[in-house]
Amino acid sequence: MSEYLLYPGCSMESSAKAYYDSLMKVAEPLGLHLKEIEDWNCCGATEYLGISLTPAYALISRNLALAARQANGTRTVVAPCSACYLNLAKADYYMREQPRLGHMVNEALAAGDLAYEPGSLDVRHLLDVIVYDIGLDIVKEKVVRPLTGLRVAPYLGCMVPRPDFEHRWSDHEHPVELDQLLKALGAEVIDFPLKTHCCGGHMTQIGPDTAFELIRRLVSSADTYHADLMATLCPMCQLNVDAYQGEMNRHFGTSYHMPVVFFTQLIGLALGLEAKELGFGSEMVSARKALAKIGLEAPEPVAAAPAKAHKAEGLPMPPPLTRRARKGSREGEVKS
Amino acid sequence: MTGGNGRKPEQQERIGVYVCHCGSNIAGVVDVQQVAEWAASRLKHRGVVVARDYKFMCSSLGQELVERDIKELGLTRVVVAACSPHLHEKTFRTACARAGLNPFLMEMVSIREQVSWVHTDKEIATLKAQAVVSGGVERVLHHVALEPLRVPIHPATLVVGGGIAGIQAALEIADAGFHVYLVEREPSIGGHMAQFDKTFPTLDCAACILTPRMVQAWGHPNITLLTWSEVEKVEGYVGSFNVTIRRRARKIKEELCTGCGICQEKCPKKVVDTIYEAGLGYRKAVYTPFAQAVPKFPVMDVENCIYFQKGTCKACEKFCPTNAIDFKQDDVVMQVEVGNIILATGYEIFDARKVSNYGYGRLANVFTSLEMERLTNAAGPTNGRIVLRDGKTVPESVGVIHCVGSRDRNFNNYCSVICCMQSLKFAHLVHERTGARVYNFYIDMRTPFKDYDEFYQRVMEEGTLFVRGKVAEVTDAARLPGEEGKLIIQVEDTLAGKQRRIPVDMVILSVGLEPRPDANEVAKRFGISCSVNGWFIEKHPKLDPVATMTEGIYIAGCAQGPKDIPATVSQGAAAAARVLGKIQQKEMALEPVRASVVEEQCSGCRICNGLCPFNAITFHEDRMVSEINPALCQGCGTCVAACPAGAIVGTVFSNEQVLAQIDGLMLLNLEESLGTPS
Amino acid sequence: MLDVNLERVRAGLRTEEDLSLLHEVSASTAGVSRLEMCIQCGTCGGSCPSAADMDHTPRMLFAMLRAGMREFVLRSNTPWICVSCYHCVVRCPQNVHIADVMYSLKGMAIKAKLYQDSTAPDFSRTFVDMVEDYGRSYEFGLATRHYLKHFPLRLPGMTSMAFGMLTKERMTITPKRIKNIRQLKAILKRAKEVETSNEAGGAR
């Protein structure tokens, strides 16, 4: 069993409850042992960073300090939420890159009898751990109900593949990890061009017009490719594209119906678990129709995807680049 | 007084000390007159007969001071205290030689870089300068007269790389009457230039200006053309390199082949040609890369040949009218002796698949510059028609993106020099052949050389639309009407200050230049080095760009760094001139700064063998001792320091010399009776 | 200067504009900002998904920043429209920490009270107040306070969504609190003190 310290983040307990529930259900079958950090606090999302430097990073680092204290053998903190993941990873990275920041933060932490040594923990996202630590071979083995015929648009959002200081992902713009995982579950994965484009984040609260436009782009693209649903790994993305889809439709006069679920929910379905216990039904844009597809013996024929340029005739295309994502794959150059 | 090693003070030497002002560079901080006077009086007992100070020792008058003193005062040793030896050691050595004193009896000490340029306290600086001069005096007492090693220069030359740089160099040397071995890895010479269509700024056809030279190289009595060949090993040193060349088996008997091309025609196996056609066209398993290939003999690609893979076919053999196919042909390994080597191995283009936001490899109608060259080439896969990836549709709008993979810390930090001009050339060709609307996306416009900026003006006049902005993304995800089915270029038009989305049919990426992937191995094979970015390192970036730190090895063309064709040709000619100069002299004097093994003290541990960066040390099994080849040794001193028995000595930096210099620096050589050193 | 009414003289941007602005921004940015390395290529402005709504593209903002145009920069809505998607950061050929500079500018704008539209700063403030009180974010409280103040007209349209979120247990009416909230408060209090002295040093 692989052991990790879990930082759930505030959303997992409320708006992204389905993420939490499905994660808890699939952790054991996958061999993922998660220990929640004791008394963790909110990471500050993108709000605190805009107020003041040291308090923002001190808020984040309290969690790192608590995790380090609790560590006991493992040195990896897993964060399923993208913003939390980025905040924790950034805090650790910047404190290493700029020792002055590390000193200031530790000075603040000392007021609470805590300390954190930058670099003593690895911060990783849940998808990274499943694909690279557990491995897709294990995942494939455990699949009992392959999601055959389900057309999924993999949606990673922006904060996981970027800025990726530790080079954990295969690419910043079109990473293959989520695609490969969904393929391992048996789903039909569309080549979603906006897979790492922003959902608007907190703009739904601050500048709704901007946010609705960003949401519209995502939903419209997934729709053009005839996706049955979008699979995401970020609570904010799920909330925006799901809960605000209605308002977005009204704003533009459109009538999209694009369900958005968490990738752990799909893992759960493929492992044979029941939809209800995986949090299905809690989404605002119902995924019922999409789910119906997986229950069928012979899935109904899917409408043809938009024609892309034929690669068979005409001039040859270059072969795909074999991408390897591992720490230091850029030959040691730290992208500052 | 004696220090370690039991050496005796030499009373017979007559030493001249010269302290330079270097204008105010030294004199502004060090009291140079004082230093000279101090040397004359306090070091008299060590042999100093004259000590002068002068404004600019390196001037002719300064040098004459030294020469006159040598002749008139019978000096046997000279110490010059001035700038760093890197600058003028040779000057003063030559001056001594002119006056009849062995040049290696002169020692130069730096009181500029090591004293006046690093201290501000004048008193302390003057004291330090005195100590430095004292060190120099002690050291020079242990110098010995040395003669340079003279090695003969073999008149033949090896040129590695048959691109325009290599061809230029080879032709110049051959025309001068000396023999050249021109080795090329591909089946034909010509290099990248043979792939291009038109070349900037004149827009003349690349093949038209290149092929005459290629033919000349083929027919030249003084050139041995070895294509489909590679250099495997290089041994020896300047003037007598022993090179092992592997001539790979073409599976074609050259003496029988007429170059008719029937084998190519009949071969049933088609393969994507990733080298010459840049992946955009096909060739057969037995092929010549292009119609004007030199030599005309095809080669067989055994990995794709049906006979070699499965044992059947043999169509080429069946149809060859002169029975020139020979499946059993083996590689031939040959050895040649040459005096000098020129490396002109060229470049590779940046892999645009790495820039995933530009979509190369994912979006069909995104092309690299090399693919575009093939498209525009009249002998290319589309016979010069500029069309989309489907091979049929003519684009109505084209976007050309500059700086792909260059000037970018995410990829290559440097500017690739030719891409702006190349992008302008593409804009011109697209206008000429298709009448499409053309956009060029740039950060800066780099058009510095002769007729380059005029070319830019011309392209502007033709109606190309210029957008100053580094393209953020090329995507097929339509957002607005009019974008469906197109490639959308998203960029900030920095001059207008707004983000723009520009739909086009075709995108051309002007990718940067990179060193060959095996540049490091090749460098090692020849005994030179590569820079951090992978280009071969020149001796001096401004003053000596075609020589390397290894005598006898020269570099030319893009192997040294990205450059355009005029600069490449210039470097090829420059390297040739250097080689011809060496050949004319028939022999070369090597600096006698080198190490040698004292055999009696060598224990045969061989620690030094692996440390030598120039592979100059050989081990004699019979006598169990190591020996240093004086011609290969560059006098770096690594082995001297490493030898645990102290059995290796270096001329010009022997233990005695160094220890004496230290004693002098610490002023241990002053008369005891005068008390503490002043 | 000659006897002239300076207010009537038409001159361009004066060089005595606040050149310390660049240094100040760098000092309050996490990591090394590398702002001085910007070559104004425009990749950031081209990548930004919300650039259409910004007063100035990120690139233009940096040009103004380096010219020392303090008021323009801090009044610009650009940092507030930034969605932190990090496209600009990974594509920037000079590795400028663009998104993190945006965070610094937000903080500076708040301190200087120079932001135009108070929606975004208010939202952040409310969020931060909640976190400082409870140690966890409290969406229900945050949403109600925020919408009442800034988007009252959206409230009716949002009732169905709010109702859905509540019944699907995706939102709680009462806030959650961490156990050791005192520890957190102590840490944040000291952090603010440290930050104040950092800024005082950075402004030099």
Distance from CA of C11 to the nearest CA of A (A): 35
Q: pLDDT digits over B154-173, tens only?
A: 999 999 999 999 999 999 99
Average pLDDT over residues A44-58: 87
Q: Considering only the top CATH level, what class is A144-304? A: alpha beta
Chains with 3+ CB–CB pairs under 8 A to B are A, C
Q: Which of B354, B402, B492, B501 to mutate to test the interface with C (most CBs of C within 10 A)?
A: B492
Query: Does any CB of chain B come closer than 8 Å to the CB of residue A163?
Result: no
Give me the phi and psi of B86, to 5 degrees please. -55, -30
Q: pLDDT digits over B254-297, tens only?
A: 999 999 999 999 999 999 999 999 999 999 999 999 999 999 99
Look at residue C15 and tell me whether its pLDDT is greater than 70.
no
Q: pLDDT digits over B616-665, tens only?
A: 888 999 999 999 988 788 888 899 989 998 899 888 888 889 999 999 99
Give me the phi and psi of A230, to 5 degrees please. -105, 140
Give the per-residue pLDDT at B590: 85
Distance from CA of B416 to the nearest CA of C (A): 15
Which of these, B182, B149, B137, B139, lies nearest to B163 by C-alpha position? Answer: B182
Give the per-residue pLDDT at B482: 86
| pTM value > 0.80 | yes
Q: Report ipTM (2 d.p.).
A: 0.85
Look at residue B675 and tell me whether its pLDDT is greater than 80.
no
Distance from CA of B45 to the nearest CA of C (A): 59
Q: Which of A53, A156, A165, A334 to mutate to test the interface with C (most CBs of C within 10 A)?
A: A53
What would the two tokens of residue B452 be?
A: 């380059």
- Chain A residues within an 8 Å CB radius of B354: 321
pLDDT greater at residue B58 or residue C142: B58
**With an 8 Å Cβ cutoff, are C32 and A336 in contact?**
yes
Look at residue A222 and tell me whether its pLDDT is greater than 70.
yes
pLDDT greater at residue B460 or residue A299: B460
Q: State the DSSP H helix or E strand holding residue B349, giving kind and residue range, or none if neither.
A: strand B347-349
- Chain A residues within an 8 Å CB radius of C171: 14-15
What would the two tokens of residue A33 be?
A: 């042992």
Q: Which of C32, C40, C43 to mutate to test the interface with B (most CBs of B within 10 A)?
A: C43
Give the per-residue pLDDT at C140: 80
| Residue of B280, B351, B390 lying closest to A309 (CB–CB) | B390
User: Which residue of A lies nearest to C164 if distances are taken between CA atoms?
Assistant: A284
Look at residue A309 and tell me whether its pLDDT is greater than 50.
no
Cis peptide before A163 (omega within 30 of 0): yes
Average pLDDT over residues B78-106: 94
Distance from CA of A73 to the nearest CA of C (A): 25
- Chain C residues within an 8 Å CB radius of B472: 42-47, 87, 91
Give the per-residue pLDDT at A310: 44
| Residue of C57, C87, C93 lying closest to B470 (CB–CB) | C93
| Residue of C41, C57, C90 lying closest to B470 (CB–CB) | C41
CB B41 within 8 A of CB B72: no
- Chain A residues within an 8 Å CB radius of C149: none
| Residue of A203, A214, A246 lying closest to C161 (CB–CB) | A246
What is the distance between the alpha carbons of residues B597 and B600, in angstroms, rounded to a whole number?
Answer: 9
Give the per-residue pLDDT at B470: 97
Q: State the DSSP H helix or E strand holding residue B182, giving kind and residue range, or none if neither.
A: strand B180-183
Q: What is the mean pLDDT of chain B?
A: 93
Confidence of residue A276 (pLDDT cuts 50, 70, 90): confident
Give the per-residue pLDDT at A49: 84
Which residues are CB-neighbours of B272 under 8 A, at least 6 positions away?
A316, B279, B281, B282
Query: Does any CB of chain B come closer than 8 Å to the CB of residue A318?
Result: yes
Look at residue B666 and tell me whether its pLDDT is greater than 80.
yes
Which of these, B606, B662, B661, lies nearest to B639 by C-alpha position? Answer: B606
Look at residue B1 and tell me whether its pLDDT is greater than 60.
no
**With an 8 Å Cβ cutoff, are A321 and B361 in contact?**
yes
Residue B223, SS3?
Answer: strand
Residue B174, SS3?
Answer: helix
Q: pLDDT digits over B424-481, tens only?
A: 999 999 999 999 999 999 999 999 999 999 999 999 999 999 999 999 999 999 988 8
Q: What is the mean pLDDT of chain A?
A: 87
CB B117 within 8 A of CB B25: yes
Q: pLDDT digits over B476-518, tens only?
A: 999 888 899 999 999 999 999 999 999 999 999 999 999 999 9
Query: Does any CB of chain C come closer than 8 Å to the CB of residue B499?
Result: yes
Q: pLDDT digits over B67-85, tens only?
A: 999 999 999 999 999 999 9
Give the per-residue pLDDT at A299: 35
Structural domains of chain B ordered from first start: 1-148+654-678 (3.40.50), 149-248+331-346+519-590 (3.50.50.60), 252-329 (3.30.70), 348-514 (3.50.50.60), 594-650 (3.30.70.20)
Give the per-residue pLDDT at C17: 60
Give the per-residue pLDDT at A333: 29
Query: Does any CB of chain C come closer than 8 Å to the CB of residue A52?
Result: yes
Beta bridge partners of B281: B273
Look at residue B5 and tell me whether its pLDDT is greater than 50.
no
**With an 8 Å Cβ cutoff, are A173 and B476 in contact?**
no
Q: pLDDT digits over A176-218, tens only?
A: 999 999 999 999 999 999 999 999 998 988 888 999 999 999 9
Structural domains of chain C ordered from first start: 2-116 (1.10.1060), 119-193 (no CATH)
Look at residue A334 and tell me whether its pLDDT is greater than 80.
no
Look at residue A301 and tell me whether its pLDDT is greater than 70.
no
**With an 8 Å Cβ cutoff, are C187 and A50 in contact?**
no
**Domain-wise residue ranges, chain A:** 2-125, 144-304
What would the two tokens of residue B562 be?
A: 């990205």
| Residue of A174, A217, A320 lying closest to B479 (CB–CB) | A217
Q: Which of B:334-363 have CB within 8 Å of C?
A: 357
Query: Does any CB of chain B come closer than 8 Å to the CB of residue A324?
Result: no
Give the per-residue pLDDT at A14: 87
CB B412 within 8 A of CB B514: yes
Please list the alpha-helical segments (H only) found in B364-418.
369-376
Q: What share of chain C is helix, strand, coil (3-state, %, to 5)?
A: 60, 0, 40
| Residue of C57, C87, C90 lying closest to B497 (CB–CB) | C57
Which residue type, as a one-letter code, is found at position A29?
P
What is the distance between the alpha carbons of residues A31 and A319, in angstroms, rounded to a whole number?
Answer: 36
Q: Which of B499, B500, B501, B502 to mutate to test the interface with C (most CBs of C within 10 A)?
A: B499
For residues A101, A104, A105 and A108, what is the CA-based torsion angle, rounded to 10 degrees? -170
Q: pLDDT digits over C20-79, tens only?
A: 888 889 888 888 889 999 999 999 999 999 999 999 999 999 999 988 888 889 999 999
User: Which residue of C lies nearest to B357 if distances are taken between CA atoms?
Assistant: C91
What is the distance between the alpha carbons of residues B481 and B491, in angstroms, rounded to a whole number?
Answer: 18
Strand B157-160 relative to strand B149-152, pairing: unpaired
Give me the phi and psi of B349, to 5 degrees please. -90, 155
Q: Which stretches of chain C sit within 8 Å of chain B by CB?
A: 39-48, 51-52, 56-57, 59-60, 87, 90-91, 93-95
**With an 8 Å Cβ cutoff, are B389 and A315 in contact?**
yes
**With an 8 Å Cβ cutoff, are A309 and B357 in contact?**
no
CB B372 within 8 A of CB B413: no
Give me the phi and psi of B260, to 5 degrees please. -70, -30
Give the CATH architecture of domain A2-125: Up-down Bundle (1.20)
Distance from CA of C62 to the nearest CA of A (A): 17
What is the distance between the alpha carbons of residues C20 and C201, in angstroms, rounded to a whole number?
Answer: 12
Look at residue B615 and tell me whether its pLDDT is greater than 90.
no
